[in-house]
Amino acid sequence: MHSDIIDFHAHLPDGPEEVIALLRAYDRAGIARGVLVPGNMLDSRFLADFMRGQSSLRSSEPDNAALLRAASRSNGRLMAFFNADPFVHDPGDIVQAKTDGYRGFKFNPLVLRTDLKAPDTLDLVAKMASLKATLYTHITLQPQADLGAVVELAKRFRDLSIVIGHMGFATADMAALKAVRRHDNLYLETSIGSVLALRAAERQGLAGKLVFGSEYPLHDPEIELRKLSTVFKDKDLQLICVTTAARLIGEAP
């Protein structure tokens, strides 16, 4: 497999040794670099309890700055995405984040209950689009953050590249595959995606609409990468693991 593999979706637990632990996991898997997305507001082990209302957030605001600090300690191997919260951030924060060195943006409707149709959210998205940035988002079953809401963003903001996490709402979301086939600026990130969904993507020739992600530390980067290699040939793996990801973080045409 190619030596320039990019992990498009990793979290970094709190602690001084966590950057070293992540880079060691990358070394074992043969991964060159990774994109960090904020996850500090909630201990991911208790996401299900949070969704049930039985666990609370550890913080009311994502610690975006911690990701830039981690990236600065990684010898260029880690990059940060800025987690935008429409209740906290305004379009000026989006511009500043780009200036500060964040390589893209994230919405997290699972935790922040982000309404992708709300005016404040659309103001942030419009600014991201003006910067020709990339937005990563989860989707839910709620109409304010479901697949249809993301498709509407893709149609309205064509200069914005949008990556849907985890192959859609579920690990085998055929509607999400159909959506990325229809919209040039819409992509799927592969972490925890089912082999069933990956095989469907391969049959439909959608390798160019996928980006590899690991969902570290909940999932092992090496296992997630090997899963892809059981489905896709080398040419497709180059697209999924290197070429498309590089373009989405602004490194390639």
Distances (CA, A) of 84 to 106, 114, 124, 147, 228: 6, 9, 8, 19, 30
Domain membership flag for residue 168: yes
pTM value is 0.93
pLDDT of residue 242: 97
Specify the pLDDT at position 115: 95
* Domains held by the chain: number: 1
Residue numbers of the domain that contains 98? 6-248
Give domain status of residue 74, yes or no: yes
Q: Domain with 151 in it: what CATH number?
A: 3.20.20.140
With respect to residue 1, please indicate whether it lies within any of the assigned structural domains.
no
Predicted pLDDT of residue 47: 60
- Please tell me the predicted confidence (pLDDT) of residue 46: 59
User: Does residue 16 sit within a domain?
Assistant: yes
**221 located within any domain:** yes
pLDDT at res. 36: 95
Query: What is the chain's pLDDT, residue by residue, as a tens digit (253 residues)?
Result: 557 999 999 998 877 799 999 999 999 999 999 999 876 555 666 566 655 666 565 556 778 999 999 999 999 999 999 999 999 999 999 999 999 999 999 998 877 779 999 999 999 999 999 999 999 999 999 999 999 999 999 999 999 999 999 999 988 899 999 999 999 999 999 999 999 999 999 999 999 999 999 999 999 999 999 999 999 999 999 999 999 999 999 996 6
